[in-house]
Structure 1
């Protein structure tokens, strides 16, 4: 269920379910009568405004003085222009570098629009276009590049929000180069960004995967009352362990196929037909297994962890769309 949910003392999450492409969660931490902190913003301009309006009564006597962007994917920061212009925006140094290097909203909108036009073209070109259109969904992107963060840190820092200590820690590179988490220790809440996809298939864009596994162990070690994922419903330790199990299974199951010389698409076809995959088949966007396999195979080929090249991303999109067109996830 989408909407504003209180998840702790003075802490709220605006949750978007089921947590598919662009359906990113955001957060709010309030110190009554003094100040507030926003965690992430939405890339769809209508949703970003809707979230800001829902938060308005909660910050009426506690102005938003700070915001944090958990990583460089646009669905977590392209709504930054809805923040007060005086608010300080913080992210990791690696995330800010990624923001500067990524395609701006207008360029991504053009690509997605082109994808919608060519999606019926036979072969990989049409498949890549179709999947690019899926990524955007019905989102309307901002017309210009939004305001970027103005404060960065390397490994860890803390913010004072009206006397409340908010801890920031970079646990990436994992999903992206600079993934960070926001820990509100006095409320037992952790905002994880895209280190957690709950009920939604995760994507390994950057890696290495071992870093992601270590990050999940770090999250579990905090034993928080509530974890707010980047995508999907709020959760506890059990859901984090399920995500960890997925990554361990995918790593171990795919390695033999890589050694046998199969492609990520060929490997995905085989893996999604196994009974082991049934534990995660119901997750949102299961075809994204092909995207993570693309990254794993690239690194097993000897390449260092890095953001995906345009060619690798396009090839992964073709694989994901192909799985959907083949009905790979339909009940037999």
Structure 2
């Protein structure tokens, strides 16, 4: 945190949009008096997710065994790849102080911030923050700009409905969870991506294709060209793992360790095959 930026306007309120560590593991950098708000579903998921020390161990191990042949080595290598040079906290950071279920209103100085839970989508408790008078929406990971999204929890229909709601707000600026600030056009581009992946993926699933083979064929299709330049295009296979799990008759929910590991192995394998640029 840049102290000169907040010297005259100290941080008194913070919002964790969801339970992914890259969106709340910085809570300890906030002033101790600042109040942190999230959805009840997100707080539950924060308690259930692996702590940062465990992920650090996985990433470190992945860097060592990533060359081991087979899915174990591939999954480990992808964990190390995703971490890159990021440094995780040594202990679990401070958890949010206050939760809500559907909507909540914050007053920050003379400004009102409307919070709304639109998940489960990307995760179980996705929250957006709408600063109406400023024409700004903080979307968390319900919007990725120039970056490939990941569907972990689902159902996808919830995410599509959330995008429709965000589009109707017609804000001047949408601050995404990943990528530069966006506009309504970026929301529409993401919605188009999900429509394409859902429909194309379902066709391959009906034909009995595997997740990896489906991702391989979709990445080589002409239709994928529209989104191929987005950052981390191999995440396509991670979202397909969730969609296939749902089409196999399983209820929406966070991925099991087995499914997540299999998806990571598929992503690393396709990267090594040169299916996606690195």
* TM-score above 0.5, yes or no: yes
Measured against aligned partners, the alpha-carbon deviations of 1:10-69 in whole angstroms (never above 9, x if no partner) come to xxxxxxxxxxxxxxxxxxxxxxxxxxxxxxxxxxxxxxxxxx02xx22321222111100
| Residue 56 of structure 2 corresponds to residue 120 of structure 1 | no
Aligned residue among 249, 252, 267 for 1:305: 252
Q: Which residue of 2 aligns with 1:20?
A: none
Aligned to 1:153: 100
Name the structure 2 match of 1:325: 272
Partner of residue 223, structure 2: 276
Map Cα deviations across residues 171-221 of structure 1 (whole Å, 9 max, x no partner).
000000000001111110000000001100000000000000000011101
Residue 115 of structure 2 aligns with which residue?
168
Alignment partner of 1:57 is 2:4: yes
Q: Which residue of 2 aligns with 1:143?
A: 90
2:37 is aligned with 1:67? no
- Residue 286 of structure 1: SS of its match in structure 2? coil
1:319 and 1:296 map into 2 onto residues whose CA distance is 15
**Corresponding residue to 2:124 among 177, 186, 189:** 177
Residue number among 38, 50, 53 corresponding to 1:106 in the alignment: 53
Structure 1, 239-248 or 60-69: larger mean CA deviation: 60-69
- Structure 2 residue runs of 5 or longer lacking an equivalent are none
Query: Match of 1:224?
Result: 171
Name the SS for the 1:85 alignment partner.
Answer: coil
Instruction: Name the SS for the 1:228 alignment partner.
Output: strand
Structure with the largest fraction of strand: 1
CA distance in 2, matches of 1:236, 1:330: 26
Name the residue aligned to 2:34: 87
TM-score by length of 1: 0.83
Partner Cα separation in structure 2 for residue 314 and residue 177 of structure 1: 19
Partners in 1 of 2:261 and 2:133 — Cα distance?
43
1:129 aligned to 2:76? yes
| Deviation of 1:261 (Å) | 1.2
Deviation at 1:103, TM superposition (A): 0.4
* Superposed displacement of residue 330, structure 1: 4.8
Q: Distance in 1 between matches of 2:277 and 2:57?
A: 31
In 2: Cα distance, 1:201 partner to 1:119 partner: 23
Alignment partners' CA distance in 1, 2:261 and 2:18: 21
SS of the equivalent of 1:216 reads: helix
- Give 1:77's aligned residue: 24
SS in 1 for 2:42: helix
Out of 216, 226, 237, the residue aligned to residue 290 of structure 1 is 237
Quote the Cα distance in structure 1 between the aligned partners of 2:68 and 2:6.
Answer: 49
TM-score by length of 2: 0.99
RMSD value over aligned CA atoms?
A: 1.0
Q: Within 1, Cα distance between the matches of 2:182 and 2:35? A: 29
Q: Stretches of 4+ moved more than 3 A in 1?
A: none
